[in-house]
Structure 1
Amino acid sequence: MPDYKKDFPLLRDNQLVYLDNAATAQRPAKVLLAEQEFYEKYNANPLRGLYSLGLAATEQYESAREKVRDFIHAKSEREIIFTRNTTESINLVAYSYGLSNLKSGDEILVTIMEHHSNLLPWQMVAEKTGAKLVYLDCEQDGSLTDEAISNAIGEKTKFAAIGLVSNVLGRRNPVEKIIKMVHEKGGVVLVDAAQAVLHENVDVTAMDADFLAFSGHKMMAPMGIGVLYGKEALLEEMPPFLTGGEMIETVTRTGAVYAELPHKFEAGTVNGAGAAGLAAAIDYMNDIGMDTIQKREEKLTKMLFDGMDQIPYVHILGSSKPEEHGGILSFVIDGVHPHDIASILDDSQIAVRAGHHCAQPLLKHLGVMSSARVSLAFYNDEKDIERFLDCLASVRRRMGYGE
């Protein structure tokens, strides 16, 4: 396998085994340099100054928008809104679309697998509008059955918020099928793609998503830059989420005329350097190729799954098929709290997640309070897996069980 770690300053010549990629990805040097270059060469307020430096900053910012548009196969750059992260993107839709369009008697569909960021905003909308929140439960393996989907979607389904990939189980949901069925009932669908953008080709046009949200930091870009895609017709009708500088055409004593898309939703000074870093991350991924990324991650996931499956007291949550985990394996160990698992692994410089993973309803549905989670990216390698498995096999012994 190629050694991609050499491209990442934090991983280069480092004993750290980083296996918390579902939380945030590492940044290649190309991304770090792009962010630095923005401040060194283009540091002016994008969209504001008409002098040369200001225009250059604007060009950097808007070219990043076009790169994102192409990356997710949107039809127009007017459909690409820069935000801080997935959470802000979803809240924008909840406040600007949800509160304006949903009413008492309507139903909002969510899966039991949703990250809290794609659940709490819809709980808020339901509470404020009188709409009903309807849960689509998964099976123990994380799958959504055709029967469950059909039973959950009805004439009152006016909105659905669905994660493309579960951050706990790594399972990819059949969003295309759900979108089609919700559209047939006259509803609108938001897709949370935070866990998918680093690992698969996301095509909003083929998917026919009405809204789609993701964070830059999940795909090797800087923290503090996120994306909301929305169909232009929907965005046009939505009121601004935030008001203030730059999102206006004119302001009088009594009111304002808002700017056209996409700037209507980008109030205040924008994250120009973050956008430059996001564009660089997209370039880096395109240079490697999504097919290469997927094949490498599939191979590593199978190696990881098979090794964990050989340890009798380790229990993997979700599917029994490694190809249905998307590089994410959440697990428990008999008699050992997940926090202790993470602490023992950390003693060996292995970083994994432990807790409820911002998905408490799912864990309760699965019958566990918390779990440890190991999550891969293409820049991991076989040595990372081997070190993890060796240490994992020693956890119970190091907890005093004598095994």
Structure 2
Amino acid sequence: MSVDIQHIRSQFPILNREVNGKPLVYFDNGATSQKPQVVLDVLDNYYEKYNANVHRGIHTLSQEATDLMEESRRKIQAFINAKHDHEVIFTRGTTESINLVANTISQLLTADDEIIITEIEHHSNIVPWQLVSQRTGAKLKYIPLTADGILDITKLDDLLSDKTKLICVNQVSNALGVINPIETIIEKAHAKGAWVLIDGAQSVPHTKIDVQALDCDFLAFSGHKMYGPTGIGILYGKEDILNQLPPFHGGGEMIKDVTMEVSTYACLPFKFEAGTPDVAGIIGLGAAVDFINEIGIDAIHTYEDELVEYTIQRLSEFDEVEIYAKDAKHSGAVSFNLKLDGVHSSDVGMILDKKGIAVRTGHHCAQPIMHHFGIPGTVRASFGIYNTKEEIDIFIDGLKTAIRMLG
């Protein structure tokens, strides 16, 4: 499978700009991806031609907006192979999707229950569960990292018990780009009767996801990391589990009947979609799914794997560079530091920025990983379908400059 990279790049207007007098090299896709023209056009088109509230009006604009929004829901259902479109819940992003599960499941937990997370999580898959533990008394456990920075999956059997109610794990680490063994985790969790929530923020843009084949109970991801708008995310949940959970937000749309004494709630997905949704963002996310499908997620996966492997190969040329979890399988990102006394990752990032190269530096909202390695942060290069090996070579030249200046 081959991809026409120049044709793809031509669809992203921002790639034409310069930064500090240099052509932009955008390697911060793990934070947010750039948007193709088709997504930008869909956003403008919605506000110019279809702007109306959804599900509530009999007039033409409302019906058209509703149809476009629900069409996007069906596109996402097909994209992740959910069994039902009402298993697709619109949220503001991965963080809200995880908090939705955390806040609703907490009403089903007792102090005798246990939740398992991991040391490789983003803060948004740690802090909500700490809050749940504090609120309910449920015990919070975690799968530790090995010295190399990969999950020590051998510890999972000891952590699991008949009290385990939920395991929460990212499929790909945002900080390291490491792929985690979620299939094994799901199988072992289900053997104990526990549910599994997958943080797919860093995996959904890069690899094919089939929630039925995985048999995960929840999947959370964000639109803005997969060429869609900011402020829109997805929570997938199995129908029978979502029906067991109470509402997250109260308000319009999520109700069936309201009296001054009591309210009854709407069916899925609306039970979890209170208030006016980000209609433009939802339609824009549908356009982003179309964009990915046109290229092919398998082709994207293959091409981006080549970029990651080439980056690791080029970084390995330098004695001054330490690549984290170097021997693990990566997806979408590589994280490293310069082994130079007194040099912080931000020093490297600022020099690269002067060359027009955008990378992410710091702890990447994953401080436990940094504590594990005894460092304040890393430099992370993360990729999208529009990136090229030629850009990686420019990045490597910029890194050479950083080493000369900081060494």
Q: TM-score, normalised by structure 2?
A: 0.95
- SS of the residue aligned with 1:182? helix
Deviation at 1:368, TM superposition (A): 1.6
Deviation at 1:298, TM superposition (A): 1.4
* Aligned twin of 1:24: 32
Deviation at 1:396, TM superposition (A): 2.6
1:317-340 Cα distance to aligned partner (Å, 9 max, x none) = 11335xx12131111112311111
1:18-59 Cα distance to aligned partner (Å, 9 max, x none) = 000100011000111111111122111011111111111110
Unmatched segments (≥5 aa) in structure 2: none
* Aligned twin of 1:5: 9
List 4+ stretches of structure 1 deviating above 2 A.
Answer: 140-146
The answer to whether structure 1 residue 203 and structure 2 residue 210 are counterparts is: yes
The answer to whether structure 1 residue 183 and structure 2 residue 190 are counterparts is: yes
**1:390 pairs with one of 379, 390, 397:** 397
CA distance in 2, matches of 1:134, 1:94: 15
1:281-292 equivalence runs, <5 A: 281-292=288-299
The answer to whether structure 1 residue 65 and structure 2 residue 73 are counterparts is: yes
* Aligned twin of 1:35: 43
CA distance in 2, matches of 1:160, 1:185: 11
Contact 2:16 2:24 in 1 (8 A): no
* Aligned twin of 1:327: 332
Deviation at 1:149, TM superposition (A): 2.1
CA distance in 1, matches of 2:208, 2:278: 25
Deviation at 1:292, TM superposition (A): 1.2
CA distance in 2, matches of 1:157, 1:142: 25
Contact 1:106 1:156 in 2 (8 A): yes
* Aligned twin of 1:85: 93
Contact 2:362 2:379 in 1 (8 A): yes
* Aligned twin of 1:364: 371
CA distance in 2, matches of 1:131, 1:366: 29
**1:253 pairs with one of 250, 253, 260:** 260
Question: Is 359-368 or 60-69 further displaced after alignment?
Answer: 359-368
CA distance in 2, matches of 1:303, 1:160: 34
Deviation at 1:146, TM superposition (A): 4.2
Deviation at 1:376, TM superposition (A): 1.1
The answer to whether structure 1 residue 297 and structure 2 residue 304 are counterparts is: yes
- SS of the residue aligned with 2:140? strand
Deviation at 1:374, TM superposition (A): 0.8
- SS of the residue aligned with 1:11? helix
CA distance in 2, matches of 1:75, 1:12: 41
In the alignment, residue 21 of structure 1 is paired with which amino acid?
A: N
Question: Is 212-221 or 139-148 further displaced after alignment?
Answer: 139-148
1:70-114 Cα distance to aligned partner (Å, 9 max, x none) = 1110000111100000000000000112x1122112111001000
Q: Quote the RMSD (CA, aligned, Å).
A: 1.2
In the alignment, residue 200 of structure 1 is paired with which amino acid?
A: T
Q: TM-score, normalised by structure 1?
A: 0.96
Deviation at 1:238, TM superposition (A): 1.3
CA distance in 2, matches of 1:302, 1:115: 24
**1:235 pairs with one of 218, 242, 248:** 242
CA distance in 2, matches of 1:302, 1:232: 39
- SS of the residue aligned with 1:343? helix
CA distance in 2, matches of 1:332, 1:125: 35
1:15-164 equivalence runs, <5 A: 15-97=23-105, 99-164=106-171
CA distance in 2, matches of 1:236, 1:262: 10
Report % sequence identity. Answer: 47
In the alignment, residue 50 of structure 2 is paired with which amino acid?
A: Y
Unmatched segments (≥5 aa) in structure 1: none
- SS of the residue aligned with 1:296? helix
1:156-175 equivalence runs, <5 A: 156-175=163-182
Contact 1:169 1:328 in 2 (8 A): yes
Paired positions, count: 397
- SS of the residue aligned with 1:332? strand
1:265-309 Cα distance to aligned partner (Å, 9 max, x none) = 111111110011100000000000112111211111121111111
CA distance in 2, matches of 1:190, 1:201: 17
**2:286 pairs with one of 279, 285, 293:** 279
